[in-house]
């Protein structure tokens, strides 16, 4: 009898926890169906809806709603925005399993798996105001030099940082925001007294 050994632990990207398990299962199904890009596009659209709608965020996070109530509301939202196929089935399964509260973590883990498969990296960039196209291109170029990969930027606008930017690429974080610099100066002045 010959045994076939598979090296499951050889995967480059490791996503852990409940969100990682769901994301990995979805990624494998999408890869089998040659639908990774379509699923990612639908899930990115859904994530953008969550970010834009406080009501949808409340529906997702609140334990007050039953699974049936969440499922009915989610089905209406998905139909209205035209999200179907594997992404729709995934979101409905997550809802039926009472895991909708963790869907944003699942989406983030899925994006990481897709980026790794494509040889890309994702950088989270926080800025005080919207960046011009030439600044986005320069930032992508600089991050590509550092990481050696094509970089997908997820830009978040947060006026509270006053100016500068905060970049998180993998486990590395660069904070050049004015708020951080002012806090450092304030702390130094307190210590000098």
Asked if 58 contacts 147 with a C-beta cutoff of 8 angstroms, the reply is no
Parallel/antiparallel/unpaired status of strands 165-169 and 120-127: antiparallel
CATH numbers and ranges of domains, the chain: 14-114 (1.10.520.20), 119-192 (3.40.30)
pLDDT the model gives residue 94: 95
CB atoms within 10 A of CB 178: 13
- Encode pLDDT of 84-109 as tens digits: 999 999 999 999 999 999 999 999 89
pLDDT < 70 stretches in the chain: 1-15
DSSP, res 149: S
**Model pTM score:** 0.68
- Encode pLDDT of 170-190 as tens digits: 778 888 888 888 888 888 888
pLDDT the model gives residue 11: 42
């Amino acid at each position: 009898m010959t045994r076939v050994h598979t090296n499951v632990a050889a995967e480059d990207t490791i996503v852990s926890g409940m969100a990682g398990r769901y994301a990995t299962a979805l990624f494998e199904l999408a890869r089998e169906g040659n639908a990774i890009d379509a699923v990612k596009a639908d899930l990115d659209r859904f994530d953008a809806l969550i970010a834009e709608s406080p009501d949808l965020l409340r529906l997702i996070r609140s334990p007050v709603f039953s699974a049936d109530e969440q499922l009915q509301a989610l089905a209406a939202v998905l139909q209205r925005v035209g999200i179907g196929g594997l992404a729709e089935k995934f979101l409905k399964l997550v809802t039926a399993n009472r895991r909708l509260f963790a869907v944003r973590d699942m989406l983030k883990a899925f994006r990481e798996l897709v980026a790794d498969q494509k040889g890309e990296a994702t950088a989270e960039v926080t800025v005080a105001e919207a960046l011009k196209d030439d600044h986005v291109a320069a930032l992508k170029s600089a991050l590509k030099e550092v990481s050696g990969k094509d970089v997908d930027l997820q830009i978040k606008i947060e006026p509270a940082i006053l100016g500068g930017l905060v970049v998180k690429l993998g486990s590395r974080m660069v904070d050049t925001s004015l708020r951080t610099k002012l806090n450092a100066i304030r702390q130094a002045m307190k210590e000098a007294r």
